[in-house]
Amino acid sequence: MPVKVRIPTPLRKLTNGKDEVSAEGRTIKEVIDDLERQYPGLKERICEPDGRIRRFVNIYLNDEDIRFMENMDTETKDDDEVSIIPAIAGGID
């Protein structure tokens, strides 16, 4: 089942400049694995070696943070939208 995946600017070099790609999978984990198959190197940028999402990366399914759902086991369906959002830190002292 295809889902739309929004790619943040820092990762677009891995998707040939595309800001949006399509991926297959019944869960977020399967979607990420399909992204890695299509765009090698992407998974290591968003996941730890053990497969968990990196601390400073947020993944949303249709505007809902998957950390408050079933995390990597969150189910997807046709036409869902997955957004990969790197956390931004900093500010004024």
Residue with tokens 């601390």: 55
Q: Is residue 28 part of a domain?
A: yes
- Tally of structural domains, the chain: 1
**What pLDDT shows up at residue 88?**
77
Question: Is 91 a member of any domain?
Answer: no
Q: What is the CATH number of the domain that holds 17?
A: 3.10.20.30
- Taking only the tens place, the pLDDT of each residue in 3-46 is 999 999 999 999 999 999 999 999 999 999 999 999 999 999 99
Q: Is residue 92 part of a domain?
A: no
Q: pLDDT confidence of 92, banded at 50, 70, 90?
A: low
Please tell me the pTM assigned to this model: 0.92
In terms of residue numbers, what domain contains 79? 2-86
Torsion over CA: 19, 29, 31, 77 (sign): negative
Residue 1 has pLDDT above 70, yes or no: no
Q: Which residue has the tokens 């189910």?
A: 75
Write the pLDDT tens digit of every residue in 76-86.
999 999 999 99
**Residues in CB range of 62: below 8 A, 6 or more apart:** 80, 81
